[in-house]
Amino acid sequence: MIPARFANALFALIMSGLMSCVVTGIATVKAIGFGPSTFADWMGSWAFCWPIAFTVILTLGPSVKRLIARLVRPEA
């Protein structure tokens, strides 16, 4: 089991992987359509974008959580 202190980093890793996979897949198909090289192009885009997405989520996540805490009313 992974120690709880790594929960935020693990969340960022999994969320960035999933989101960047979906978004680059959609963008790749929109840009070049379906064809023999679509999957390879998609994986190339994903490999490039995942570290960027991970870094963004990891660094901006705490600020976004604070913003959300200010925008929502606590439940009674």
Structure token pair of residue 14: 């999994």
Looking at residue 74, what is its pLDDT? 87
Question: CA-CA distance, 46 to 17, in Å (whole number)?
Answer: 8
Looking at residue 76, what is its pLDDT? 82
Looking at residue 30, what is its pLDDT? 97
Distance of CA 9 to the CA centre of its chain: 12
Closest C-alpha among 3, 23, 5, 26 to residue 15: 23
Average of per-residue pLDDT across 33-39: 96
Angstrom distances, CA of residue 46 to CA of 9, 43, 50, 58: 19, 5, 6, 18
pLDDT at 56 over 90: yes
Residue 73 phi, psi dihedral angles, 5° rounding: -90, 135
If pLDDT is split at 50, 70 and 90, which confidence band does 11 have? very high
pLDDT above 70 coverage of the chain, percent: 100
